[in-house]
Amino acid sequence: MKMSQLFSRTLREAPAGAESKGYEYLLRAGYIRQLGAGIFSTLPLGLRTVRKIEQIIRTQMEEIGGQEIQMPVVNPAEIWKETGRYYSIDKELSRFEDRTGRDMVLAMTHEEAVTDLARNEIDSYRRLPSLVYQIQTKWRDDPRPRAGLIRVREFTMKDSYSFDKDWEGLQKQYEAHYEAYFKIFGMCGLPVISVGSDSGMMGGKVAHEYMYLSPIGEDTIITCPSCGLTANRQVATCRKTYFPEDLREIEEVHTPETRTIDELTAYLGIAATKTAKAVFMMGTYVDEQEQEYEDLIVAVIRGDLDVEEAKLQNAAGANRLRPAHEQEIRAAGMLPGYGSPIGSSARRVIVDDSVAKSNNLVAGANKEGYHLINTNFDRDYTGTVADITSAVEGSICPECGSPLTSSKGIEVGNIFQLGTRYSESMGCYFQAEDGTRAPVIMGSYGIGVGRLLACLAEETSSDSGLNLPITVAPYQVHLVSLVKDSALPDQLYADMQAQGIEVLYDERKASAGVKFNDADLIGIPIRITLGNRGLKENSAEVRAGHGQESSMVVLDELITTVKEIIASHITHIHDTMVVERL
RNA sequence: CGGGCUGUGGCGCAGUGGUAGCGCGCUUGGUUCGGGAUCAAGAAGCCGGCGGUUCGAAUCCGCCCAGCCCGACCA
């Protein structure tokens, strides 16, 4: 490609709002442009990279038996009603009507569509196991898109779906993905870790997320430096200390101006571990008639701990959670600041095991300025016991007892064991060997392509621009010509292309500084400079990689040398790739 | 959805009541030619939209729209 013909151009200054380095360079180098909030166009340079990422993904998916398909972005709402997600997902799912008034949705993922396919194609165990995948656009009307390509509304995702006759089969396909994902990210040059995760709106049981660790990440990852246990904070567990005692008589005490745990413990001169605090949320549920309704949830947890909302949502079986308003809490007979389920009409009470297994805790009396001492779960109130504690930096590892650490990460991929969540609700059954009918057991596996590019830009950028690895860089070689009145650069460009080398050729009438700076921004791995200096000695200047010293290579050996350098880049990627197995 | 900020040539910005400017980029020509050269001459903006106040509005007021940031939210 000749630079003079390249559709995009470089920007000397960073557009306002380009907060992170990776995002800034993707814009400035001309890989992407923003069209609206969370909506981006991909320009030629960016698209070449995206295509390379996609090809890496395809290779690995085919490797584990995947067959590529494509499903529509627009779905009839019907199938989303069948699984109930039409009702359980909030405005993030965009709905509209077609001209005849039929309900339609923009697919935010394709479990429904693929299950519809599967229920028609798969009728016998003989057709299992099976694996399909697609690389397709998704639309999610995120309430707050941000951070360039990290959190967008329209994006490209590789999503694959596995079908099996039994759980062993699913486990096998799950493990195949687990490993293939490390190869994919490894080939792209992005360091990731896998963490145990919440299955969230996808339903299902086992799930892993692939995280690129970065301070700009929005997910919190809890890690044990000692035994290696890692999990998304949404599901991370920690070892808790309990304080069982002989039960004492419940008693009301006057505790003025003690609306917080800090104020309460200071006033009473006790430890936070001796208190039980109540957290009030409104959960969204769907009734038999598929009507949404909200219900108050009271979460009771020991004062020294905090509630992890994702855990609470799962324990309470709610589709969504939001903080409750004061009137809603009062309506159930409780008082914020002095609240507890004791004596209330709350129907959904989730009690953390820290509270259930400790005794004689101080709790709210639902009366302004009063608390109850010596309250005990089961004796004074009941509820569902669950682990709803948020593991934090310094919490104790449940496996080995060491202190946990916390870090930030960006989710670039995930794998879910869906089980029969979709096959059952949509009637995707097969006939087994013994003649019985059983729901197909499914898995779903995603990789955000654009987000992967954003993370790569973040990870590999230098102070002067992008620096994508050769496996995904838009071109392998950047040929910078600084000579005039010579047919040699054109000839060299043609020769390299003929040899299958991907070349970006800067033949513009611009000063050397402009060309070098643009080359730095675009960040093609190998740079060849043709200048009068070198041509006198019949040689060109070759820089084998970002930040490396350049060396003079005689023209006769140039193409061979370049090919060697390309090969060594690829070898390096392979050698440094870390592939984990489940 | 709450809180904050910003919308002025392609990009980055200045302009707090008198009719729009700077840097970069762009066009033409000259001189340069290995790290964002230089000289000269140009082109390009209903100042986000609508309404109001005023003799007069980019500037003041109201409403709306869009984008960004923090939070809520989020596979």
Looking at the structure, tell me whether residues A72 and A181 fall in a common domain.
Answer: yes
Separation in Å: B10 C1' and A2 CA: 22
CA dihedral (A462, A466, A468, A470) positive or negative: negative
* pLDDT given at position A204: 53
Ranges of residues in chain A with a pLDDT under 70 are 198-205, 289-290
Considering the domain architecture, whether residues A33 and A136 belong to the same structural domain is answered as yes
* Cβ-based neighbour number of residue A348 at 10 Å: 20
- Please give the Cα distance from A288 to A100 (Å, whole number): 28
What pLDDT, on the 0 to 100 scale, is given for residue A201?
47
Domain contains A44: yes
> Please, which positions of strand B sit below 7 A from a protein CB?
1-2, 6, 11-13, 23-25, 32-37, 66-75
Last residue of a domain, one of A341, A368, A386: A386
Q: Provide the CATH number for the domain around residue A507.
A: 3.40.50.800
- Report pLDDT digits (tens) over A144-192: 888 888 999 999 999 999 999 999 999 999 999 999 999 999 999 999 9
The 3-state DSSP class for residue A72 equals coil
Residue A198: predicted pLDDT: 66
Establish if A378 belongs to a structural domain.
yes
User: CA torsion sign, A166 to A171 to A177 to A183?
Assistant: negative
- Confirm whether A216 is domain-assigned: no
Other beta carbons less than 10 A from residue A81's beta carbon: 15
Indicate whether A393 belongs to any domain. no
Q: What is the pLDDT of residue A326?
A: 78
CATH code of A310's domain:
3.90.960.10
pLDDT at A401: 84
- Please report whether residue A134 resides in a domain: yes
Q: Token pair for residue A108?
A: 């935010």
On whether both A429 and A512 belong to a single domain, the answer is no
| Element (DSSP H or E) covering residue A363 | strand A361-367
Tell whether A212 is covered by a domain: no
Peptide bond into A76 cis (omega under 30): no
Output the CA torsion sign for A322, A328, A332, A337. Answer: positive
Please, which residues have CB within 8 angstroms of residue A157's CB and are 6 or more apart in sequence?
A109, A135, A136, A137, A138, A446, A447, A448, A449
Please name the nucleotide lying closest to A232, CA to C1'.
B75
State the pLDDT at residue A412.
94
Residue A172 sits in the same domain as residue A319: no
Say what the pLDDT of residue A432 is: 93
Same domain, A453 and A344: no
Range of the domain at A93: 16-188+416-459
E-strand stretches of A109-223: 130-139, 154-164, 193-196, 207-213, 219-223
Beta partners for A158?
A135, A447
Residues A452 and A547 in one domain: no
Residues A483 and A444 both lie in one domain: no
Does A315 map to a domain?
yes
- Closest nucleotide to A512, Cα to C1': B34
* The pLDDT of residue A202: 47
Residue A575, φ and ψ in degrees, nearest 5: -70, -30
Query: How far: A10 CA to B22 C1' (Å)?
Result: 22
Same domain, A57 and A148: yes
Under 8 Å between Cβ of A198 and A232: yes
CATH number at residue A131: 3.30.930.10
| Count of domains for chain A | 3
Sequence-distant (≥ 6) Cβ neighbours of residue A178 within 8 angstroms: A194, A208, A415, A580, A581, A582
Q: How many CA atoms lie within 13 A of A125 on its CB side?
A: 11
- At A336, which helix (H) or strand (E)? none
State whether A436 and A482 are in the same domain: no
pLDDT at A229: 82
The pLDDT mean for chain A works out to 89
Residue A228 backbone zone (phi > 0: left; psi -120 to 50: alpha; other: beta): left
Give the nucleotide nearest to A483 (CA→C1').
B33
Residue A274, Ramachandran bin (φ over 0: left; ψ between -120 and 50: alpha; else beta): alpha
The per-residue b/e assignment along A260-292, b for 16 or more CB within 10 angstroms, e otherwise, is ebeebbeebeeeebbbbbbbbbbbbbeeeeeee
Residues A380 and A426 in one domain: no
Please say which residue of A368, A386, A404 terminates a domain. A386
Q: How far is the CA of A468 from the C1' of B72 (A)?
A: 35
What is the distance in angstroms measured between the alpha-carbon CA of A486 and the sugar C1' of B30? 23
Please classify residue A94 by burial: count the beta carbons closer than 10 Å to its beta carbon, then call 0-12 exposed, 13-18 middle and 19+ buried. middle
Same domain? A130 vs A259: no
Q: Which nt sits closest to A219, CA to C1'? A: B74
A581, part of any domain? no
- Which nucleotide does the CA of A552 lie closest to, via C1'? B34
Does one domain contain both A172 and A274? no
Rounded to whole angstroms, the distance from the CA of residue A144 to the C1' of nucleotide B3 is 14
Structure tokens at A562: 């370049």
